[in-house]
């Protein structure tokens, strides 16, 4: 009679990793999930950004400042900057991890990516806060 039980293969994952649900990269799906969440949140935030920029087109500087000074507009712009720069950082990190094979260069590239994305976010947030306050 044939044995119909599935073959049990040994796992390269540790018992702790199997319990925690961690993959071979030693982290779960949190980065994947966060990247998708920021992608979805970017849609309404970028639409709001485009509407805000369109409303400022052709207006004199004081009216544009008045528009950005509105709390709802400033909050939408701040949320857009945070979401977009975080999404950008994660997307570039995925590309670096997939295509840069030298370990030292990969670490340097990930660090440069993080510094660049933080610098962009800080510059944008500073500009929004400076104009809106």
pLDDT band at 17 (very low <50, low <70, confident <90, very high): low
% of the chain surpassing 90 pLDDT? 75
- How far separated are the first and last CA of the chain, in Å rounded? 80
Model confidence pLDDT, tens digit, residues 65-119: 999 999 999 999 999 999 999 999 999 999 999 999 999 999 999 999 999 999 9
Domains in the chain, please, with CATH? 29-132 (1.20.1300.10)
Task: Give the pLDDT of residue 29.
Answer: 79
CA dihedral (81, 82, 85, 88) in degrees, to 10, reads: -120
Task: Give the pLDDT of residue 67.
Answer: 96
What six digits make up the tokens of 88? 């950008």
């Amino acid at each position: 009679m044939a044995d119909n039980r599935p073959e049990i293969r040994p796992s390269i994952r540790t018992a702790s990793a199997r319990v925690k649900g961690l993959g071979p990269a030693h982290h779960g799906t949190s980065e994947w999930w966060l990247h998708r969440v920021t992608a979805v949140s970017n849609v309404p935030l970028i639409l709001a950004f485009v509407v805000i920029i369109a409303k400022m087109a052709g207006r004199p500087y004081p009216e544009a400042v008045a528009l950005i000074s509105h709390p709802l507009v400033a909050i939408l712009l701040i949320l857009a900057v945070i979401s977009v720069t975080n999404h950008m950082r994660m997307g570039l990190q995925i590309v670096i991890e997939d295509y840069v094979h030298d370990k030292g260069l990969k670490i340097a590239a990930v660090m440069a990516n993080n510094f660049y994305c933080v610098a962009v976010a800080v510059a944008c947030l500073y500009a929004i806060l400076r104009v809106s306050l």
